[in-house]
Amino acid sequence: MNVTASFLLKVAELAFWFSAGAIVYAYLGYPLLLGVLAAFRRRVQTDPQFTLPVSVLISAYNEEESIGRKLAETLALDYPADKLEVLVVSDGSTDGTDEVVANFRDARVRLLRVEGRRGKTNAQNEGVKHCRGEVIVFSDATAVYHPKSIRRLVARYADPKVGAVSGRYQYFDSRGESPTGLGSIAFWNYENLIKLFQGRISTLTGCSGCIYSVRKCAYVPLPDDACSDLVEPLNIVRNGHRVAFADTALAYEETTATTDQEFRMRVRVATRGMRGVLSVPELLIPWRHPWTAFQLFSHKVFRWLVPVFLLVLFISSGILSGHSGFLLFFILQVLAYGVAILALVVPIHRRWKVLGLPLFFCTLNAAALLSLIEVARGHKYTTWETVRNSRMEGKAA
């Protein structure tokens, strides 16, 4: 073997181990480290009887089919009726959404129409100005709340240092037909565990989009293209407040029905998230915000770079496949990607649900890779077309 070939093999080996280490840290090392740190912190005790005036703000675009049910369910939640109002912000809806809300027979329900279709974040900015509650709960028209969810969110505000509280996503796949359904459910259970650890140690740096809340006095207006459930908490942390996690404040939502829907959703969310982190660069400076910077690099930046590490891992293990250990790992990767491609064209997940996991993993990371490209190109996402089919009733604007 000549010197050049030997050097290339050495570089490939270093690239392999660096990429493998980065991936293991992003998915396993960071959560395990959080778990160890959280074990030394006591669980926060809350008073379930603590209440504050609450405004539930629902940003909606063309939600005629679901908004009436959402209003009825929200008003039926276990929370004092005289301390609860619902404000629906219609982001230029063109169907009957406005009429359903305007005709709803309860004085606690109000409608605010925003013209121009500028997206969910702008709708929230405008809505907050009209909210009367001390705590604002942001919800989607299709999210179903546990009866005690708002009470459990508000209980955390007994601590005056808390400026925002996130609830917990609970995804479900009602018919078991979604090719990425099991992956979505497992992924969000994993994400919720990370949030639980983060909140117990100090503060979260992101919330669950369809069930999170802020003190009205702490709310920071955001640019239209900002991912509100990430950038709003980051601004609240920057201003000296904590973001808490109410693990038992549950919101139920159905998984996407197709891989294409999942991919488009992931690209949009990741692109907005990347731009959001870049909008608060001071939080990435370790000596100014050590805990927040550690979380953002470990939970966000490393995670978004995983597809790059995966590409390096695949190429380097292919180059090193002349050695038995690397050959085995290369074959395992080929098999995993092969199953993902097969699941994309044949519904094998309906027979063995676990076979849908490689497809979800590839969808998640392909979306992150495209998002990196979108951010580099300066692409912005502000609005979201409502998804409608027999399984999934939609997303807010």
Percentage of the chain surpassing pLDDT 90? 73
Confidence of residue 347 (pLDDT cuts 50, 70, 90): confident
- Domain ranges in the chain are 54-263
What is d(CA 345, CA 342) in angstroms, rounded to the nearest whole number?
A: 5
Q: What is the tens place of the pLDDT at every residue in 192-230?
A: 999 999 999 989 989 998 899 999 999 999 998 888 999
DSSP result, 319-359:
HTTTSHHHHHHHHHHHHHHHHHHHHHHS-GGGT-GGGGHHH
Determine contact, residues 177/159, Cβ cutoff 8 Å. Answer: no
Res. 387: pLDDT tops 60:
no
Residue type present at position 17: W
Res. 396: pLDDT tops 50:
no
Percentage of the chain surpassing pLDDT 70? 95
Helix/strand/coil percent split, the chain, to 5: 55, 15, 30
What is d(CA 150, CA 55) in angstroms, rounded to the nearest whole number?
A: 10
Res. 180: pLDDT tops 50:
yes
CA-CA-CA-CA dihedral for 167, 169, 174, 176, to nearest 10: -160
Task: Give the 3-state DSSP-derived string for 186-220, with helices as H, strands as E and coil as C.
Answer: HHHHHHHHHHHHHHHHCCCCCCCCCEEEEEHHHCC
Can you give the pLDDT at residue 394? 34
Determine contact, residues 202/295, Cβ cutoff 8 Å. Answer: no
Q: Which burial class, exposed, middle or buried, applies to 349 when counting CB atoms under 10 A from its CB (0-12, 13-18, 19+)? A: buried
What is d(CA 252, CA 73) in angstroms, rounded to the nearest whole number?
A: 13
Sheet-wide strand order for 211-215: 109-114, 84-91, 54-60, 135-139, 211-215, 162-172, 242-254, 144-145
Mean pLDDT (whole number) for 6-31: 94
For residue 370, what are the CA distances in angstroms to 151, 272, 334, 385?
A: 39, 12, 21, 19
Confidence of residue 385 (pLDDT cuts 50, 70, 90): low
Between strands 144-145 and 135-139, the pairing is: unpaired
Instruction: Single out the residue of 186, 103, 215, 118 nearest to residue 356, CA to CA.
Output: 186
Res. 185: pLDDT tops 50:
yes
pTM above 0.85, yes or no: yes
Q: How many residues does the chain have?
A: 397
For residue 315, what are the CA distances in angstroms to 13, 19, 114, 339, 364?
A: 11, 11, 50, 19, 20
CA neighbours closer than 13 Å in the CB half-sphere of residue 257: 10
Q: What is the tens place of the pLDDT at every residue in 362-382?
A: 999 999 999 999 999 988 887
What is d(CA 67, CA 73) in angstroms, rounded to the nearest whole number?
A: 10
Confidence of residue 178 (pLDDT cuts 50, 70, 90): confident
What is d(CA 109, CA 126) in angstroms, rounded to the nearest whole number?
A: 16
Instruction: Single out the residue of 233, 250, 287, 320 nearest to residue 13, CA to CA.
Output: 320
- Average pLDDT score, the chain: 90
Instruction: Single out the residue of 219, 210, 228, 207 nearest to residue 276, CA to CA.
Output: 228
CB count in 10 Å sphere of residue 319: 17
Mean pLDDT (whole number) for 344-352: 81
What is d(CA 239, CA 150) in angstroms, rounded to the nearest whole number?
A: 24
Confidence of residue 48 (pLDDT cuts 50, 70, 90): confident
What is d(CA 254, CA 172) in angstroms, rounded to the nearest whole number?
A: 5
Can you give the pLDDT at residue 256? 82
CB count in 10 Å sphere of residue 222: 18
CATH 3.10.450.200 fits 54-263, yes or no: no
Res. 133: pLDDT tops 90:
yes
Q: Where are the beta strands (DSSP E) in 123-258?
A: 135-139, 144-145, 162-172, 211-215, 242-254
What is d(CA 395, CA 397) in angstroms, rounded to the nearest whole number?
A: 6
